[in-house]
Amino acid sequence: MPRNDVDAQVYLRMLKIRHFEQAVSALITEGEVAGACHSSIGQEAAIVGACMALRLDDYMSGTHRSHGHPIGKGAELNALMAEILGKATGVCRGRGGSMHLTDASVGSIGESAIVGGGIALATGAALSAQVRGTDQVSLTFFGDGAVNEGAFHESLNMASVWKLPVIFFCENNGYAAVTPATQTHGQPDVSRRAEGYGLPGVTVDGQDFDAVYSTTREAVTRARGGEGPTLIEAKTYRFDEHCVGLFINGAYRTKEEVERYKTQRDPIALFRAKLLERGKSVAELLKTEEQARELVEAAVRFAKDSPRPEPEEAFDLVHASRIPIRR
Amino acid sequence: MTTTLRMTYLDALGLAQREEMARDERVIIIGEDISLYAAGGAYGNVDAKRIRSAPISENGFAGMAVGAAMTGLRPIVDLTIANFIYLAADPIINQAARLRYMTGGQFKVPVTYRASMWHNQSNAAQHSDRPYPMFMNVPGLKIVTPATPTDAKGLLKAAIRDDDPVLVFEDNDLWSVREEVPLDSEFVIPIGKAAVRCQGGDVSIISVAGCLPHALAAAKALREDGVGAEVLDLRSLLPLDYEAILNTVGKTGRVVIADYAHRTCGAAAEIAAIIAEDGFDLLKKPVRRVVTPDIPIPFSEALEKPLYPSPESIANAARSLM
| pLDDT tens digit sequence for B159-183 | 999 999 999 999 999 999 999 999 9
For B295, counting Cβ atoms within 10 Å of its Cβ (0-12 exposed, 13-18 middle, 19+ buried), the class is exposed
- Residue A203 contacts residue A235 (beta carbons within 8 Å): yes
Considering the domain boundaries, does residue A148 fall inside one?
A: yes
CATH number at residue A116: 3.40.50.970
pLDDT band at A3 (very low <50, low <70, confident <90, very high): confident
**Which residue from A273, A270, A239 is spatially nearest to A45, judged by alpha carbons?**
A270
Chain B within 8 Å of A291 (Cβ-Cβ)?
Answer: no
Identify the closest residue of chain B to A157 by CA–CA distance: B55
Considering the domain boundaries, does residue A257 fall inside one?
A: yes
Considering the domain boundaries, does residue A315 fall inside one?
A: no
Chain B neighbors of A117, CB-CB under 8 A: 63, 90-91, 94-95
SS3 B144: strand
What one-letter code names the amino acid at A292?
A
Distance, CA of A123 to CA of A175 (rounded, Å): 24
Identify the closest residue of chain B to A106 by CA–CA distance: B106
Q: B241: number of CA atoms within 13 Å, CB side?
A: 22
What one-letter code names the amino acid at B87?
L
Considering the domain boundaries, does residue A319 fall inside one?
A: no
Over residues A265-271, mean pLDDT: 98
Tell me what the pLDDT averaged over chain B comes to. 96
Distance, CA of A135 to CA of A154 (rounded, Å): 23
Over residues A203-228, mean pLDDT: 98
Q: Kindly report which listed range (A279-283, B43-47, B64-68, B92-96) carries the lowest average pLDDT score.
A: B43-47
Q: Which residues pair with A108 in a beta bridge?
A: A60
Check if B127 is active-site: yes
> What percentage of chain B has pLDDT greater than the value 90?
94
What pLDDT is recorded for position A325? 87
Considering the domain boundaries, does residue A259 fall inside one?
A: yes
What one-letter code names the amino acid at A241?
E
How are the residues of chain B apportioned to helix, strand and coil, as percentages rounded to the nearest 5? 40, 20, 35
**How many domains would you assign to chain A?**
1
* DSSP secondary structure letter of residue A153: H
Determine the distance in angstroms separating the CA of B66 from the nearest CA of chain A, rounded to an integer: 6
Distance, CA of A205 to CA of A201 (rounded, Å): 14
Cα angle value B43/B49/B53 (rounded, 5°): 65
Identify the sign of the CA torsion B206, B210, B213, B217: negative
Facing B106 at nearest CB: one of A102, A130, A162: A102
B232-260: pLDDT as tens digits: 999 999 999 999 999 999 999 999 999 99
What pLDDT is recorded for position A247? 77
**Which residue from B295, B297, B309, B302 is spatially nearest to B118, judged by alpha carbons?**
B297
A8-31: pLDDT as tens digits: 999 999 999 999 999 999 999 999
What pLDDT is recorded for position B3? 95
Identify the closest residue of chain B to A113 by CA–CA distance: B94
Considering the domain boundaries, does residue A313 fall inside one?
A: no
Q: Which residues pair with A138 in a beta bridge?
A: A59, A166
ipTM of the complex: 0.97
Q: Is the pLDDT of residue B1 over 60?
A: no
Query: B35 CB contacts (<8 Å, ≥6 apart)?
Result: B51, B53
- Cα A101 to Cα A40, A166, B211: the distances in Å are 13, 21, 45
The domains found in chain B, sorted by start residue, are: 4-182 (3.40.50.970), 195-319 (3.40.50.920)
Facing A124 at nearest CB: one of B68, B101, B142: B68
**Which residue from B224, B285, B288, B211 is spatially nearest to B257, judged by alpha carbons?**
B288
Query: A195 CB contacts (<8 Å, ≥6 apart)?
Result: A201
Considering the domain boundaries, does residue A325 fall inside one?
A: no
Considering the domain boundaries, does residue A316 fall inside one?
A: no
Q: Which domain holds residue A267?
A: 3-308
| H or E element in which residue B186 lies | none
A147-184: pLDDT as tens digits: 999 999 999 999 999 999 999 999 999 999 999 999 99
Q: Which residues pair with A111 in a beta bridge?
A: A62
